[in-house]
Amino acid sequence: MGSQVTPLTDESYWTTLWDGQQHKIRHLRWVYVANRQLAKLFDRALVGVKQPTLIELGCADSLWLPYLAQKYGSDAYGVDFSELGCQLAQRNLALAGAEGTILCEDLFAFAKRHRSAFDFVYSMGLIEHFSTPQAILEEMYNLLTPGGTMLTVTPNLRGMYTPIARVASPKLLATHKVILPTDLASALRDTGFQVTAFGYTGGPLKLSVVDYSPWRAVIGKWGHEVLCKCVNLTDIVLGNFLVGLRVPNQQLTSPYVYALSTKPK
């Protein structure tokens, strides 16, 4: 890993997180507003591109990699340094009947060996876990072919999600660097990208963007399961209701920050 950047998490943090997922079979559910909006961002990023060579950085337990591999007939890759996370990503590919290559290694070491190798690079929560997000953006830039496209998504930890996270998962705030859309766009431009769009996404509500796993020790396994089901049901019912009222994506309640960018030819 580059000496100029310090990770805010380590492998044990992710192993503990993914250990709670390994007995759950997950799949993309379009009833969630966030999934529908993220799928539209992928469509915008890959419009006119046929069978792209693409990679997800920080791919542990990814549900989007199988989706993209199948929908776009892509040569799909994923890289992550968590061994358990990589196993879950490989499992998701197999369950979806999709083909892809999962590589369990350090991102910085991987990027040094694969310059200008991918038509599309994306991450669904990665750069905010480092002290210097721009160092990660530089590696992403180097991975892209000239003219290639990148989608960067990070959680929105401003607005209503900050006080929720302080109660539900204080460690979440300690392991995430808060990044605003304007800050993300500025960092991308400083790296050399041409930014085509940025802002908030994921709909007007997604309470499940916060990690509630610390409450398992307080309310027990079954209590935690009930809590998560209530959170998910709220996301579905209230999220779709607010979309019906045409509540826009904004800082107060939208779960994600995003930016679409390209590498100049």
Residue 186 CB partners (closer than 8 Å, separation 6+):
none
Alpha-helical runs (H) found in 123-215: 133-143, 161-168, 170-174, 181-191
Beta strand 194-201 pairing with 256-262: antiparallel
> Which residue type, as a one-letter code, is found at position 173?
L
Length of the chain (residues): 265
If pLDDT is split at 50, 70 and 90, which confidence band does 20 have? low
DSSP secondary structure string for all residues of 88-133: HHHHHHHHHT---EEEES-HHHHHHH-TT-EEEEEEES-GGGBS-H
pLDDT at 210: 87
Domain ranges for the chain: 11-262
Give the relative orientation of helices 64-71 and 33-45 as an angle to the nearest 10 degrees: 50
Q: What are the C-alpha distances in Å from 143 to residues 115, 120, 154?
A: 5, 9, 19
- Compute the half-sphere exposure of residue 40: CA atoms within 13 Å on the CB side of its CA: 10
Side-chain half-sphere CA neighbours of 114 within 13 A? 24
136, pLDDT greater than 80: yes
Lowest mean pLDDT among 14-23, 33-42, 56-65, 97-106: 14-23
pTM of the predicted protein model: 0.89
Torsion of CA 8, 12, 15, 16, to 10 degrees: -90
Give me the sheet containing 118-124, strands edge to edge.
101-104, 75-80, 53-57, 118-124, 144-155, 256-262, 194-201
Phi, psi of 173 (to 5 degrees): -70, -30
User: Among residues 254, 51, 53, 18, which one has the least CA distance to residue 157?
Assistant: 254
Q: Which CATH class is domain 11-262?
A: alpha beta
CA–CA distance, 144 with 139 (Å, rounded to integer): 9
Q: Does residue 142 contact residue 116 with C-beta atoms inside 8 Å?
A: yes
pLDDT higher than threshold 50 for residue 3? no
pLDDT tens-digit readout, 206-258: 999 888 888 878 888 889 889 989 999 999 999 999 999 999 999 999 999 99
Integer Cα distance of 45 and 148 in angstroms: 10
Distance separating alpha carbons of residues 41 and 52, to the nearest angstrom: 16
- Map 8-75 to HEC letters: CCCHHHHHHHHHCCCCCCCCCCCCCHHHHHHHHHHHHHCCCCCCCEEEEECCCCCCHHHHHHHHCCCE
Taking only the tens place, the pLDDT of each residue in 160-216 is 998 998 888 777 777 778 899 999 999 999 999 999 999 999 999 999 988 888 887
Q: Are 198 and 184 in contact (CB under 8 A)?
A: yes
